[in-house]
Amino acid sequence: MQTHELETYLHSYIPLTKAMQVSVLSIEPNTLILQAPLAPNINPHHTVFGGSVGTMATLAAWCLLHTRLQAEGVANHLVVRHSEMDYDKPIAGRFSAIASLEQPELWAEQMKTLQQRGKVKITVISVLSYAEQITGRFRGQFVALKA
């Protein structure tokens, strides 16, 4: 999947991503990067609203799994089940969320489970980055259901 294709999909089917002006920077098998500007995501302290930070982290993780499952040719329904987020530093401008699998070595086994049982749990990590610094960390458990 191309970055502009995913961006169009997000803006069409998740209107909040359009309001946040989320863009898709890169899609690699092992990492996916989203970016957003400050203005539509600002809070009263002139930094990025915690809700936008958490949303970007969750969305990057969801997008990584969504594109990987698409590449496997598995039609799927993908939902977040549990998440934890550390907000380490304020973000005062354009920021990124970089998602990767927590245990990429389990992927082949997880795809087998999804095919056999129609359902699998997968954990994804996202880090938030602003001005060359890590400003937050997210860990989310997702459930993929075979459509």
Is residue 116 classed exposed, middle or buried when 0-12, 13-18 and 19+ CB atoms within 10 A define those classes? exposed
| C-alpha distance from residue 35 to each of 1, 60, 93, 114 (Å) | 17, 9, 11, 30
What is the pattern of x (binds its own copies, CB under 8 A) and - over residues 56-85?
A: x-xx--x--------------x-xxxxxxx
Residue type, 88: D
Which of 13, 73, 75, 108 binds its own copies (CB under 8 A)? It is 13
By C-beta, is 110 or 142 nearer to its own copies? 142
Identify the residue among 5, 72, 86, 102 touching its own copies (CB under 8 A). 86
Please work out, in degrees rounded to the nearest 5, the angle formed at the alpha carbon of residue 60 by the alpha carbons of 54 and 63: 135
Asked if residue 96 binds its own copies (CB under 8 A), the reply is no
Q: Counting runs of H as helices and runs of E as strands, what totals does the chain give?
A: 4, 6
**Residue 15 makes contact with its own copies by CB under 8 A:** yes
Six-digit token pair at 49? 């609203």
Q: Applying CB under 8 A, does 92 fall inside the site for its own copies?
A: no
Report the residue from 23, 35, 52, 135 that binds its own copies according to the rule CB under 8 A: 52
Toward its own copies, which CB reaches closer, 82 or 112?
82
Q: Is 107 in the site for its own copies (CB under 8 A)?
A: no
